[in-house]
Amino acid sequence: MIRNARKDTLIAYVLIAPFVAIYGLIFVYPTIDMFILSFQDAPLITFGPQTPEWTGLDNYTRLPDDRRFGTAFWNTAYFVLLTVVPGTLVALAIAMGITRLSGRLQALVLALFFLPYILPVSVVYRIWDWTLNFQFGIAMHLFDVLGIDRVPIFKTSTWFMPAVAFVTIWWTCGFSILLFLAGLRAIPTEIYEAAELDNAGRWTVFRKLTWPLLWPITALVLTIQLILQLKIFDQVYLFSIGGRPNDNLVMVYYIYQRAFQNDDGGRAAAIAVVLFLIVIVVSVLNFQLLRLAERKT
């Protein structure tokens, strides 16, 4: 076996070579480059002949007074608030409903709930832009029935975020439902049979058995959702077309705007670094919390 150690190493390097080359080029290098760029004054699209200028911490010190950065930051926080916990609870409720069914009916119901997750964001955008259309949207009939005045939902800043959050939950819920279903399936049925013998009510069974047993999955879903929603861009960008992008900015959208519309690579990179740090901190904290939760159960 020892004789093979050198051969093993050689083989391993051959196997990992393509991966290392790709990751070096599109992951390691761009990440380092992002930090460097954030300390420079560098136009992005109009490549000039001059070398980029070093500006120290300027790109960062300007952020607190940047009104658009404030909007982007708070909108992202608002969006996270509107999607993470509500989305998780909706998914849990749906999974509880699906898990009771069996056979073909279960497969069909699951497929109906899961289908949106599989669709491209631009298709989701077209579907909901049509469904919620101010003049011809079918959802507006519901508004009429309920006696609410019709509103051009994606053109008003009050409705915009909640509506996009709603569409996002509809779109991404399928993923969380699958995780919850896997979790529910892992709970042994004997536990429920014992509860039935004790004449425990439905709500009691859920509160005392299902919820605590499912908690590790719930924590996982919350973590995945939180990190996912911090990085939101696509839906906000699409629904802002023809609307008020400056009121609807979220972090990634602002990076895009600074870099590609204002041609300001340095300042855009500084915002990217801030989001990068937020996501890393949240991931690490979550990871620790998950480990704690696992130790408890």
Partner 1 sequence: MTSANARRFNIGGAIITIITVIAAVLWAFPIYWGIVSSFKLEDEVVRPYIELWPETPTLRHYWFALTQTQIGSWYLNSVATALGVTVLTVSTSLLVGYAISQLRFPGRRPLWWLILASFMVPTQVLIINHFVLIANMGLLNTWAGIILPQLIHPVVIIVYKQFFDQVPREFREAAVMDNASEFRILTKVYIPMNWGVTTALSIVTFIWAWNAFLWPFLAVTRTEMMTITVGITQVSDAFGVYYARQLASAVLAGFPVALAYLLFQRRVTQAITLSAGIKG
Query: Using the rule CB under 8 A, which residue among 127, 195, 209, 293 binds partner 1?
Result: 127
Would you state the structure tokens that stand for residue 263, as one six-digit string?
């041609």
* 123 contacts partner 1 (rule: CB under 8 A): yes
Q: Which of residues 90-109 bind partner 1 (CB under 8 A)?
A: 94, 97-98, 100-101, 105, 107-109
Q: How far is the CB of 238 from partner 1 (least distance, A)?
A: 6
Query: Using the rule CB under 8 A, which residue among 62, 126, 207, 291 binds partner 1?
Result: 126
Distance CA 87, CA 73 (A): 21
List own/partner pairs for 143-150 with CB under 8 A and 24 or more apart.
none
Q: How far is the CB of 158 from partner 1 (least distance, A)?
A: 22
Distance CA 88, CA 18 (A): 38
Q: How far is the CB of 157 from partner 1 (least distance, A)?
A: 22
Distance CA 154, CA 166 (A): 12
Distance CA 95, CA 113 (A): 10
Q: Left, alpha or beta for 147 (phi > 0: left; psi -120 to 50: alpha)?
A: left
Closest CB to partner 1 among 28 and 57?
28
Distance CA 178, CA 116 (A): 13
| Contact pattern from residue 9 through residue 48 relative to partner 1, giving x for each residue in contact according to CB under 8 A and a dash for the rest | x-xxx-xx-xxx-xx-xxxxxxx-xx--x------x--x-
Q: Which of residues 165-204 bind partner 1 (CB under 8 A)?
A: 170, 175, 178-179, 182-183, 199, 202
Closest CB to partner 1 among 20 and 89?
20
Q: Which of these ranges, 63-71, 72-80, 150-158, 217-225, lies near partner 1 under the rule CB under 8 A?
A: 217-225
Q: How far is the CB of 71 from partner 1 (least distance, A)?
A: 18
* 143 contacts partner 1 (rule: CB under 8 A): no
* 285 contacts partner 1 (rule: CB under 8 A): no
* 136 contacts partner 1 (rule: CB under 8 A): yes
The set of residues, in sequence order, having a beta carbon less than 8 Å from that of 265 and lying 6+ positions away, is: 37, 40, 42, 43, 44, 52, 259
Question: What distance lies between CA 14 and its chain's CA centroid?
Answer: 36
Q: How far is the CB of 241 from partner 1 (least distance, A)?
A: 7
Exposed/middle/buried for 232, CB within 10 Å: 0-12, 13-18, 19+?
Answer: buried
Distance CA 177, CA 91 (A): 5
Q: Which of these ranges, 70-78, 80-88, 150-158, 222-230, lies near partner 1 under the rule CB under 8 A?
A: 222-230
Q: How far is the CB of 161 from partner 1 (least distance, A)?
A: 19
Q: Which of these ranges, 55-63, 64-72, 75-83, 220-228, lies near partner 1 under the rule CB under 8 A?
A: 220-228
Q: Which of residues 46-75 bind partner 1 (CB under 8 A)?
A: 47
The string of DSSP codes covering 257-283 is IIIIIS--HHHHHHHHHHHHHHHHHHH
